[in-house]
C-alpha cells in the first residue's frame, strides 16, 4: 500500500516554488488552501498553527529537511496531504526537541480524517523521509507527475 491508495496526494495539493516569510505565514497559506478546496473546516487553520507551537513537526532528515504539520481529525472533512516545495527554507522547531531547529525545504501538511489511519500514513511518510535520495528527487521535481511517482514508489 502507498500514499496514492487513499488518494491523499491530489494534483491540486502539490505546490511548487512556495514562498513564505516565516513558519506561521506558510502554515496559514497551506491550511487555507486545504480549507478552500474543502478538505478541512475553517477551524483547521488556527488549530494547525496552534498545534505547531506546542508540538513542533520539523524533521532533520538526510539531504532535504522536512516538516509535517497536522492537527486533530475533528477539523478535517476529507483526507489529503499538501506537498509544498519551498522556494527558500522556512525554520521550524525540531520534533521532540526543546531548542533544535529545522530549515524545512519540503512541507507535507496532513489532513487525516480517520485518526486510526494517522500512524500508517506517518509510517509511510517516515519511510520516504529516511531516503535522502528520494527526498532530493522530490525537491528537484518540477512536475506534479514526478512527485506522485516518487511518493508512490
Domain-by-domain residue ranges, the chain? 3-152
| pTM for the predicted model, two decimal places | 0.94
Reply yes or no on domain 3-152 having CATH 3.40.930.10.
yes
The total number of residues written for the chain in this structure: 153
Where residue 3 falls among pLDDT bands split at 50, 70, 90? low
Query: Checking DSSP bridges between strand 66-67 and strand 101-111, what pairing results, if any?
Result: parallel
Q: What is the structure's pLDDT at 152?
A: 84
Q: Residue 15 forms beta bridges with which residues?
A: 84
pLDDT digits (tens, 9 = 90+) for 66-110: 999 999 999 999 999 999 999 999 999 999 988 899 999 999 999
Average pLDDT value over all residues in the chain: 93
Q: What is the structure's pLDDT at 1?
A: 35
3-class SS letters over the chain: CCHHHHCCCCHHHEEEEECCCCHHHHHHHHHHHHHHCCCECCHHHHHHHHHHHHCCCEECCCCCCEECCECCHHHECCCEEEEEEEEEEEEEEECCCCCCEEEEEEEEEEECCCHHHHHHHHHHHHHHHCCHHHHHHHHHCCCHHHHHHHHHC
CA angle 85, 88, 92 (to 5 degrees): 85
Where residue 5 falls among pLDDT bands split at 50, 70, 90? very low
Q: What is the structure's pLDDT at 98?
A: 81
Amino acid at each position: 500500500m502507498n500514499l496514492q491508495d487513499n488518494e491523499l496526494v491530489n494534483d491540486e495539493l502539490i505546490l511548487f516554488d512556495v514562498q513564505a516569510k516565516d513558519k506561521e505565514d506558510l502554515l496559514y497559506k497551506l491550511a487555507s488552501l486545504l480549507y478552500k478546496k474543502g478538505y478541512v473546516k475553517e477551524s483547521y487553520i488556527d488549530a494547525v498553527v496552534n498545534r505547531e507551537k506546542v508540538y513542533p513537526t520539523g524533521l532533520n532528515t538526510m539531504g532535504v529537511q522536512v516538516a509535517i504539520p497536522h492537527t486533530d481529525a475533528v477539523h478535517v472533512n476529507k483526507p489529503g496531504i499538501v506537498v509544498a516545495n519551498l522556494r527558500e527554507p522556512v525554520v521550524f522547531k525540531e520534533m521532540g526537541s526543546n531548542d533544535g531547529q529545522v530549515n524545512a525545504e519540503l512541507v507535507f501538511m496532513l489532513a487525516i480524517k480517520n485518526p486510526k489511519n494517522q500512524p500508517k500514513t506517518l509510517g509511510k511518510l517516515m519511510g520516504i523521509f529516511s531516503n535522502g535520495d528520494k527526498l532530493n528527487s522530490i525537491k528537484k521535481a518540477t512536475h506534479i507527475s514526478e512527485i506522485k511517482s516518487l511518493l508512490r514508489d
